[in-house]
Amino acid sequence: MASLKELKGRINSVKSTQKITKAKQMVAAAKLRKAQAAAEAARPYGIRMAAVMGSLASKVAGQDNAPLLMRGTGSSQRHLLVVVNTDKGLCGGLNSNIIKEAKIQARALIAAGKDVSFYLVGKKGRAPIKREYPDLKADGFDTSTVRTPGFEEAGAIARELIALFEGGKFDVAHLIAPKFKSALAQDPVTAQLIPVPAPVAANDSGAVVDYEPSEAEILEGLLPRYVTTQIFGALLEREASEQGASMTAMDNATRNAGELIQKLTIQYNRSRQAAITTELIEIIAGAEAL
């Protein structure tokens, strides 16, 4: 049985941990408002970009002069999984769920006879994937050097992916990233990134639109920006998901610490009372003996 000193030390230790988790929860709650606003503000831009892409893509679909980013290499043998994880921990099962989704996609592709490689964004997903697939090639981009990754980092990732695609390193790229719904729900989502899937063109009510220069030339410049926008949106969703998951995880940790403190305090009081009772019995017994 633990001594009173050991129990007192445990209680103080758990109280210190509770202060840390409570502070982390408050910081995450404050950051969540800003991250959620940024993620939600970027979604309409992505929807509008997809509508413009759909209008242009419908004009060049099936043409030989369509940009490479849209028509693809003509093969689907080599697949690249772009996995977006966080750089920090203490955010519950967020990273585990993203890695689980990446593994599901990788197993399905390997079972279909496809070649799979990884491109890892964020530090927390590197070790589990490399441990699961030590023989698979895994490139990546380090976002831990900046406080909050933005459009510049998304552009750097997009340029590197496009360079790999144009260099013949892969045929199809899939983006796996969390989708922020609420502080309690952040679901991983898989979407094709390269070649850019032709979005459904919006209904223009029969309006005739003349493009200058040609649709193919506009797409040539617009497609890289579209890829950048998709990655930027994934980074924003990641930030919001990380703060939401962290706030929830730290709230649970704080409450668990409180329950543990209560149990240890009861145990400490019982042990203390037992020690006092034992001392009293010894004193009374000694007095009676005299």
Catalytic annotation, residues: 91
DSSP conformation letters of 248-280: HHHHHHHHHHHHHHHHHHHHHHHHHHHHHHHHH
Instruction: Judge if the upstream peptide bond of residue 213 is cis by omega within 30 degrees of 0.
Output: yes
**Residue 124 to residue 246: CA distance in whole angstroms:** 14
DSSP 1: -
Distance of CA 257 to the CA centre of its chain: 26
**What residues contact 290, with CB distance under 8 A and at least 6 apart?**
none
**Residue 148 to residue 167: CA distance in whole angstroms:** 30
| Token pair for 39 | 């993620």
Residue 82 bridge partners (DSSP) = 119, 175
